[in-house]
Structure 1
Amino acid sequence: MPEATEACGPIGGPTGALTVGQAARRLGVTVRALHHWDEIGLASPSLRTAAGYRLYTTGDLERLHRVVVYRELGLGLDRIRAVLDDASADVPGALRAQRAQVAERVDRLQRLGAGLDRMIDAHERGPLLTAEQQTAVFGPEWNPDWTAEARRRYGDTTQWQQYAERAATRSPEEWRAVADAVAGLDRALGDAMDAGVEPGDPAANDLVERHREVFASYFPLTREMQVCLGRTYESDPGFAAHYDGVRPGLAAWFRRAVDASARAHGIDPDTASWR
């Protein structure tokens, strides 16, 4: 007869003894767990019916209850066996050691929770900086509302997710380093234009590569994506004003430099897309 009958059907036995199904329900464990504990000799029933079905006495249930408690505390089955069967076992010591492990796990989960909170905040609002900190890091022309606008436009993209992942772990000092790198690149672009460097020249190509490296602070930038950014720098009034504020005509110069570099890498700037 299958074990399911043992777990469910009423089986004659001494008054007060429980079938494996009844014991499992009372303890809040599975029948499979009771079978396993019986098979390994951790907690076996004292009685069997004439048909061979397990019957658990009050004493059996007391031992099972201790097994359940210790298992919920995180002790392994071998450790539980030692605690229950070894009269010389240092039960308080075992429980203290387990408590220390639980405390470490709680601390780890709390840190994980804090990290998740930061990740959620970063996905929702970008840099985890106050408006004052953003102004101090990015300069007086920075508008904290720009991040909200970027999230509105790009919040469902992979690039925004990558940006948020970086923002979640970045300190104000690290953001300042990013801002300094961007400002340094802007100066280098302006100096190259002043020096008569032409798009496609080695010096211009080096600056295009430097732009990709600096931009990686936000998210990885492919060459085709860089071409799309170059278009935006020239066509978007806000970006164009920024670059042309560094040097008049710089937005158009940089767009041409990016296009020339793309061609050198086998990419047609006219058909490049955000990928």
Structure 2
Amino acid sequence: MMTVNEVSQLTGVSIRALHYYDQIGLLPAAGHTDSGYRLYDDAALERLQQILLFRELEFPLKDIRKILQNSAFDREKTLEQQIELLKLKKQHIEDLIALAEKTKTTGETIMDFTAFDTQKIKAYAAQAKQQWGATPEYKEYEEKTARKTEKEISDMGGQLMKIIAAFGTMQTMDPAAPEVQAQVKKLQDFISAHYYTCSKMILNQLGQMYAAGGAFTENINAAGGPGTAEFAQKAIEVYCS
């Protein structure tokens, strides 16, 4: 067991912060000395490490508490997602460094703002939060699927993919075309009916996630053809604006 002072020295977290984490139920002390001082065991330190990783990813304390208190919390899966988010942040920082170095070398202003784009990070974080159960939308999804069989859930996912894949046949059209926008509305309605209430803000986040690369983008483009995910994102962006 370690005292609060020892934990503070080991982790760099202030004693005041550790006291606060205990008060709000985020990091309860494992025990107390006869004098009433907080004590922390290995399990508490492991939990603190999870908290600090989430803090590095700029998650609010209230969201971290909800995630860690969720009965479905999967430490290994969470670590994988945290690693992916940290890699995205690393790439973002490297892009900014490269832009600054290029500007310094040329002595001119580089009219390229892509290095400031954080949409991939936001989209992946939104996806991860839903899986961690830290959002009302995920809770609504759990309620709607609680009585469904695995086959019914799988079939539902297949229907959703068909709706998204249909954007592949529309790529010759303008994303703002009525037919394309009607397909976006169909997608929004399906998600609201079978998963969770899909506001325009959430729909826009999903669109960014579809085109952010990785498994989602690959699966959508495999179903609808190359460029489907990217076109769907553009159509959703028009709809949500």
TM-score, normalisation: structure 1: 0.38
TM-score, normalisation: structure 2: 0.43
Relative contact order: is structure 1 or structure 2 higher (C-alpha 8 Å, sep ≥ 6)?
A: 2
